[in-house]
Amino acid sequence: MARVPDIKQIKSAERVLALLGFFNASRREATVMDIVRAYGYPQSSTSELLGCLVELGFLRRDRYKRTYRPTAKVAMLGAWTCPNLFRHGNLFGMMDVLAEETGCSVVLAGTVGVRYEYIHTVLGTSALQTEDEPGILTKGPVGRLFLSAYDRSQVRKIVHRLNSEVDEMERVRCDDLLLELDQISKQGFAASACLAEGRGGIIAMRLPQYATDDDLALGLVVGCDDTRGSAFHLRALNNAVKSSIEQPVIPIRDHGRTSLRPAS
């Protein structure tokens, strides 16, 4: 007889991962109350969970400021996966430089079943539009960018499944979607329709499969007040994707400006 999962253990695991995600997104130390306010967890159980992670060596506590921050042990988790990008590559450094050079927020997206999510974000001055927030693969340019690499028969099955789970107004016409996916495959990127109207949005490109075992994409979030045009953002994004899979580079500063040089 199969063992029934313990709901309490599942919730604890979810909270641990949520905590690590919180630190990754905020990039700062946090108090117990910061996390309580962010997730609505009970204060007592949050304190216990943070204390447990301190004991295990995943967090460090500042007794005087009463704050917590991840240790180097967290940074090493999963470093062996996608070594061309993470362990030996420069993807994260490139995202930092891309955000600084363009002023745009930069997102790294990945797929989870029939959904996609942002697994790493570098904040710039631009904010995501509602229509560009993560969700199902048929929603928004990033999801459709991932779908463009799928076999078309698989796309039809995904669309049929997702259409059965949403209201009629939210359903997608498969034939229209397939035409859009063909165009995305041909041009090599996907972009929000509102970008052409000057209302901001996101432009995204997939990372080459030979660089990663996972399906990943890099996105540049363009603000509604950005007047430099799609060609500028596409060129910056394309250069970043190429650089992230070539010889590792490290950011250096010269007279206040960030640039890149090959890692020695």
Assign domain 91-262 one CATH number from 1.20.1250.20, 3.30.450.40, 3.10.20.30, 3.40.50.2300.
3.30.450.40
Using CB atoms within 10 A of its CB, is residue 217 exposed (0-12), middle (13-18) or buried (19+)? buried
pLDDT of residue 245: 63
Task: Name residue, tokens 């640039």.
Answer: 259
Q: Domain 7-75 adopts which CATH fold?
A: Arc Repressor Mutant, subunit A (1.10.10)
pLDDT of residue 250: 47
- Domain positions in the chain are 7-75, 91-262
pLDDT of residue 260: 44
The model's pTM: 0.73
Distance CA 136, CA 182 (A): 19
Residues in the chain with pLDDT < 50?
1-2, 4, 248-253, 255, 257-264
Distance CA 58, CA 167 (A): 43
- Sign of the alpha-carbon dihedral angle for 57, 34, 119, 245: negative
pLDDT of residue 87: 66
pLDDT of residue 3: 55
pLDDT of residue 107: 93
pLDDT of residue 1: 46
pLDDT of residue 212: 62
pLDDT of residue 159: 96
